[in-house]
Amino acid sequence: MKLSKRLASKRTILTRRGHSATRRRVLSLEQMEDRRLLAQIPIPNAGFEVRGTTNHPNDSVILQGTHAYPRPEIESWRYFEAGGNGGPARIVYPATGFIATAAEGNHVVRVVTDPRPWVLTIGPTAGVAQILNETFDSTMTYDLTAQVSRYTDNTSEPDDNWNGYVVQLAVGGVNHTPGGQFSGQVIGGTVIAEDWNTQSVPFGTWVTSTVQYTPDPSDAALDGQPLQVRLLAIRDPDDPAIENPPDPPVSNADFSYVKYAAFDDVQLFEEEAGADTTPPVVTGVELNAGFTDPDDLPNSGGQPTSWELQRSGIFNMELQFSESVTLDVDDLRLTNLGMDAPNDDDVVFDLQPNHFNLVDDVVTLSFAPGELDDGVYRIEVLQTATDLAGNPLDGANQGVASDYILEGNTTNKFHQLEADWNGDAGISVFDFTSYSYWFGTSIVEAPFGPQYVDINNDDGISVFDFTGYSEKFGAEVVYANAFAGRVLLGPAEENLATDVQIAIEQVVEEIPVTALQWGVVTRRSSVDELELQQRVRSEEQDIELVIDALTNDIADAWA
């Protein structure tokens, strides 16, 4: 069958591989946020699960996992500025008067504004505090969170025992044990940030309280002092214990002013001041990066195309990011959408570590000659890629974590089509000028030709590359959402293309069997090899005459 008929009956010759898929790794919002935080500051017994038994009459209840007072020799949490025996807190197992489960683990802390004299705390709040081992640094950002809920003695009227909550981050203070088995307390400290009852807390639910400290040079005098966390309930505004001393005195049996709050799962994080919270973005993709055009040939004018324009071969692609990134080959996906992208099956290329190289803010994917099949391509960088601070990729450049997707179209021309030397997404007479210009050059010695014209990868541009061009003549790629990017021919150019195609068929027929044999010779006598060389050179000279004639015809048609 003549080449023209074969091309008319089958526009593309492409072997399809089986359809494959890659499992995506997706981070939750919580995971993405955690990756930005540089360090979590330990808070002992942050979930109130560490508890000890006492010789208190309630020991039998404690052993059943219901109540326990904080104790200074066992428990890291202490009463905040509470005097006397006992205090305004118990570590409890959620039960009647509460919600069914803890926010984390099995236990929570319940604080109470108890006005009785032996557990007296003065001021607008009452609760627990803890002095941490970590010291304050005014150049850091601190994020404190705690789960907050209600507790009541009267489930039918839960608002009777609720006046709000306070979560505070403070600096300094001292641990003090004035006497009494359960009376360890924290005294003093400077509040640097707080959440004073800003969240609505419906009965039976847990709500997250968030306290953030941002760097403040005026707090530098506090640097080096220990951090302190406080969990407090707000007193009834009429509670006489707000005053010091209370007036009138509060009787032992007076519970009319009792207010509760419950807390669980306390966490504290720190970030460097001015920490990077800007996600990385992809700023550019370059095909065949680092390849330079050879010098123009003497007395031949300028070369007709370039490494930048050609799409005969994709030897590498370089992805430029806005900053240094952390990712590996599993964070990338390269897909061949087919020669006819809207209709062909997608085929995911099997990227391997040997294809991948990362240096700071540049990722390079490299491919051996001929390793990629012809077709339109799509490259994806998954949001699992991060910068060095852990910020996930903002692929859509919208300020949120998202994948980056670049798909071939008429603008970026992200495709490969063997012999598409002018990069117009089709093989036509316009590509022939590149072949004729570089015919006879070498990839490895002067006069040098570009590797992209060496279709058969034998380090030279010869009749064997013309065969590849002729087999692809008339082929084109079609993008998913647009027509092919090649130049449409007018009537005169169509006639020229027909003439070129006829000439191509003649040349293909005239490419000698001896020349093809010469390309695969492995063992011959020196006499046979010399004879073959002479015949090949003679026939190549004839082919050069045909190529020169075609080149002149094309030049005249476009003059």
Q: Is 55 helix (H, G, I), strand (E, B) or coil?
A: coil
Answer whether residue 94 shows pLDDT above 70: no
Over residues 505-533, the pLDDT tens digits come to: 555 555 444 444 443 333 334 445 556 55
- Alpha-carbon distance 233 to 260, whole Å? 6
Question: 5-19, 257-271, 383-397: lowest mean pLDDT where?
Answer: 5-19
Rounded to an integer, what distance in angstroms lies between the CA atom of residue 400 and that of residue 119?
50
Classified as helix, coil or strand, 151 is: coil
What mean pLDDT value characterizes the chain?
A: 76
Range picked from 184-193, 238-247, 501-510 for highest mean pLDDT: 184-193
Q: Are 511 and 466 contacting, i.e. CB atoms less than 8 angstroms apart?
A: yes
Check whether 171 has a pLDDT greater than 60.
yes
Higher pLDDT, 244 or 414: 414
Pick the residue with more confidence: 134 or 92? 134
Predicted local confidence at residue 323, as pLDDT: 94
Identify the CA nearest to 368 among candidates 379, 352, 381, 380: 352
Q: What is the pLDDT of residues 121-145, one digit of tens each?
A: 567 888 889 999 999 999 899 999 9
Per-residue pLDDT reduced to its tens digit, 290-322: 999 999 999 999 999 999 999 999 999 999 999
Find, among 23, 327, 69, 91, the residue nearest to 184 by Cα.
69
48 in helix, strand or coil?
coil
- How many other β-carbons are positioned within 10 Å of the β-carbon of residue 531? 13
| Cis-peptide into 392, omega within 30 deg | no
Between the alpha carbon of residue 143 and those of residues 32, 36, 146, the distances in Å are 16, 12, 10
How high is the pLDDT of residue 303?
A: 95
- In the block, tokens 């607008």 appear at 124
Q: Is the pLDDT of residue 252 over 80?
A: no
Burial of 268 (0-12, 13-18, 19+ CB in 10 A): buried
pLDDT confidence bin for 463, thresholds 50/70/90: confident
Which regions of the chain carry the CATH code 2.60.120.260? Answer: 39-272
Rg, Å, the chain Cα set: 39
Identify the three-state secondary structure at position 167.
strand
- Residue 453 pLDDT > 60, yes or no? yes
- Furthest C-alpha separation in the chain: 126
What's the CATH architecture for 39-272?
A: Sandwich (2.60)
Split at pLDDT 50, 70, 90, the class of 371 is very high
Strand partners, 90: 110
Question: Mean pLDDT throughout 442-451?
Answer: 93
Report the alpha-carbon distance of residue 37 to residue 32 in Å, rounded: 9
In degrees rounded to 5, what are phi and psi of residue 509? Answer: -65, -30
Query: Picking from 3-12, 142-151, 364-373, 428-437, which range would have the lowest pLDDT averaged per residue?
Result: 3-12
* Structural contact between residues 483 and 475, judged by C-beta atoms closer than 8 angstroms: no
| In the predicted structure, residue 31 carries a pLDDT above the cut 60 | no
Rounded-to-5 percentages of helix, strand, coil across the chain: 20, 25, 50
**pLDDT value of residue 11:** 26
| Residue 399 vs residues 33, 272, 273, 322, 382: alpha-carbon distances, Å | 14, 21, 21, 13, 15
Token output for 359 = 């240096």
What's the pLDDT score for residue 75?
61
Which of 243, 238, 241, 261 shows the shortest CA–CA distance to 127?
Answer: 261
